Amino acid sequence: MLDVVVVGAGPNGLTAAVELARRGCAVALYEAGDTVGGGARTEELTLPGFRHDPCSAVHPFGAGSPAFNAMPLSRYGLEWVHAELPMAHPFPDGTAAVLAHSVGETAASLGSRDAGTYRRLVAPFMGHWDALAADFLRPQWLGLPGDPARFARFALLGPQPVALLNRRFRDEKARGLLAGLAAHAVSGPGSLTTGGLAVMFALAAHAHGWPVARGGSQAISDALAGYLRDLGGAIHTGTVVKRLDELPPARAYVFDTSPTALARIAGLGNAYDRFRYGPAVFKIDYALSGPVPWTAKDARRAGTVHVGPSAREIATALNRAARGQAPEVPFLITAQPTVADPGRAPEGKHIFWAYGHVPNGWDGDATDVIERQIERFAPGFRDLVLARAVAGPAELADRNANYVGGDIACGAFDGLQSVLRPKLARVPYATAHPAVFLCSAATTPGPGVHGMCGHNAARAVWRRLRVAART
């Protein structure tokens, strides 16, 4: 009998499998796709030689992940590469607020009236990313915080909506930058924890940057898979699991799936009927004949560019998606990986992706409104397009079954569900079935390629196995 079977080879499933194999467990992993990766894959979506990431491309929490940093992933080919700037947020006048490696450069870009406020906001946490990440990217039942005083200080800030946090700032550059960072939660600016999330994104940039993996996000998944195999774990791709009894006997089963898929496969009935899925995204991958012609020069040297200048415009775009309304002037999160990793495209060419927020399950076409928004800040962009690969909610869900209705966060990240994922429970990874666990982004700490959901779930599984072994 195997010790553990993992279903789903996204970053969290792979991380859970590695963590348990490192503890001496006999582990087998089953993946429905032909390759491992889930939301961290790389494919030629447009033209030969243009290597795109179908979902996640830039990894703010990847390079500083406690789970990844405890593994020798560089030995398996993972190399983080950085653009000159982690992120830029352009404005119609041709200037930009920037999220730089340096706090000073970031503060200066916000203008004299808000520079000091930004410095004071991040100063108590600078130089302490590792402690913050270890304490906040795990549930507290796993132990006391390693840095209690700093934990308590951030805990006062973390639950705030970004709309409340932005009251500290006087001008639109700072407010727009913070609102754009919070929008990665795919929830409105009044949602709980969006202020704390915005600050965590900023601190990640100052500590470890917002890197891409050289060659594409597939390199992260391949490194985890290579390490797992060397630890004795088995990986089976192209295997669709419909029922628990289709899997080999094991002491524990760990699912890197949506909660509703887990309930269906494991026969848990309505266990997650109250779990909510959030707004979707509409994503376009581009092959370009040259770099994006941003009017703001700082945007040309950034790995990520947020497009949507004011906090009010960002709020309107996100709230429309949450209310089920089609996008009009979308807020865009865009990535230009070839700024840091030119080998992802033929010489002189570039890859680029952009996504805007749309209602869950929306079946419209946002291509025109997205490209009009890009042209607003990069006139002539459309003239550079060699090919595009368009993916609405249905296509995203086809690519990755965890993206229910096109929700790339694997569950709404708002209200209490932003912290109580997938539901109120002392051990959020455990289920009503004593041998079945959940480790996807639907669990705490939530979405992102950082492996911490899998890491935390593996610890819960290990505790359960040890208890069972003693009884």
Please determine, for residue 446, whether its predicted confidence score (pLDDT) is greater than 60. yes
Q: Does residue 196 carry a pLDDT above 60?
A: yes
CB 282 within 8 A of CB 373: no
Give the residue among 402, 450, 433 at the shortest CA–CA distance from 277: 402
Give the mean model confidence (pLDDT) for residues 32-46. Answer: 96
Neighbour-count burial of 469, counting CB atoms closer than 10 A to its CB (0-12 exposed, 13-18 middle, 19+ buried): exposed
pLDDT of residue 90: 98
Higher-scoring residue by pLDDT: 456, 139: 456
Question: Rounded mean pLDDT of the chain?
Answer: 96
Question: Residue 425 pLDDT > 80, yes or no?
Answer: yes
Q: Are 88 and 333 in contact (CB under 8 A)?
A: no
- Lowest average pLDDT, out of 147-151, 371-375, 378-382, goes to 147-151
Handedness of CA 302, 55, 440, 408 (dihedral sign): positive
Establish whether domains 2-79+214-276+411-470 and 82-115+158-212+278-399 are of one fold.
no
Cα separation, 66 vs 134, in Å, equals 6
CA–chain centroid gap for 461, Å, is 24
Give the mean pLDDT of 289-295.
98
Q: What is the band of 77 on the pLDDT scale with cuts at 50, 70, 90?
A: very high
Homologous superfamily of the 2-79+214-276+411-470 domain (CATH): FAD/NAD(P)-binding domain (3.50.50.60)
User: In CATH, what class is 82-115+158-212+278-399?
Assistant: alpha beta
Q: What is the pLDDT of residue 136?
A: 84
Residue 140 scores a pLDDT above 60: no
- pLDDT, position 51: 98
From the CA atom positions of the chain, what is the Rg in Å?
21
Q: Where are the domains of the chain?
A: 2-79+214-276+411-470, 82-115+158-212+278-399
Tell me the mean pLDDT in the region 361-383: 98
3-state SS of the chain is CEEEEEECCCHHHHHHHHHHHHCCCCEEEECCCCCCCCCCCCECCCCCCCCECCCCCCCCCCCCCHHHHCCCHHHHCCCEECCCEEEEEECCCCCEEEECCCHHHHHHHCCHHHHHHHHHHHHHHCCCHHHHHHHHCCCHHHCCCCCHHHHHHHHHHCCCCHHHHHHHCCCHHHHHHHHHHHHHHCCCCCCCCHHHHHHHHHHHHHHHCCCEECCCCHHHHHHHHHHHHHCCCEEECCCCCCCHHHCCCEEEEEECCCHHHHHHHHCCCCCCCCCCCCCEEEEEEEEECCCCCCCCHHHHHEEEEEECCCHHHHHHHHHHHHCCCCCCCCCEEEECHHHCCHHHCCCCCEEEEEEEEECCCCCCCCHHHHHHHHHHHCCCHHHHEEEEEEECHHHHHHHCCCCHHHCCCCCCCCHHHHCCCCCCCCCCCECCCCCEEECCCCCCCCCCCCCHHHHHHHHHHHHHHHHHHHC
Residue 451 tokens, joined: 């492996």
Q: What is the arithmetic mean of pLDDT over 131-141?
A: 80
Task: Place 141 in a pLDDT band, splitting at 50, 70 and 90.
Answer: low
pLDDT > 80? residue 142: no
Tens-place pLDDT, residues 266-287: 999 999 999 999 999 999 999 9
Q: Which residues, in sequence order, are bridge partners of residue 235?
A: 29
Question: Among the listed ranges 63-77, 265-279, 414-428, 431-445, which one has the minimum average pLDDT value?
Answer: 414-428
Each residue's pLDDT tens digit, 316-335:
999 999 999 999 999 999 99
Phi/psi at 464 (5° precision): -65, -40
Q: Residue 426 pLDDT > 90, yes or no?
A: no
Which has more confidence, 418 or 215?
A: 215
Task: Reply yes or no on whether the pLDDT at 127 is more than 80.
Answer: yes
The pLDDT of residue 151 is: 87
- pLDDT band of 471, cuts 50, 70, 90: low
pLDDT of residue 104: 98
What pLDDT, on a 0 to 100 scale, did the predictor assign at position 415?
85
pLDDT at 296 over 70: yes
Q: What is the mean pLDDT of residues 183-212?
A: 95
238-269 per-position pLDDT tens digit:
999 999 999 999 999 999 999 999 999 999 99
Question: What pLDDT does residue 143 have?
Answer: 65
pLDDT at 301: 97
Strand duo 2-7 + 250-255: pairing = parallel
The tally of CA atoms less than 13 A away on the side-chain side of residue 453 is: 33
Confidence of residue 226 (pLDDT cuts 50, 70, 90): very high
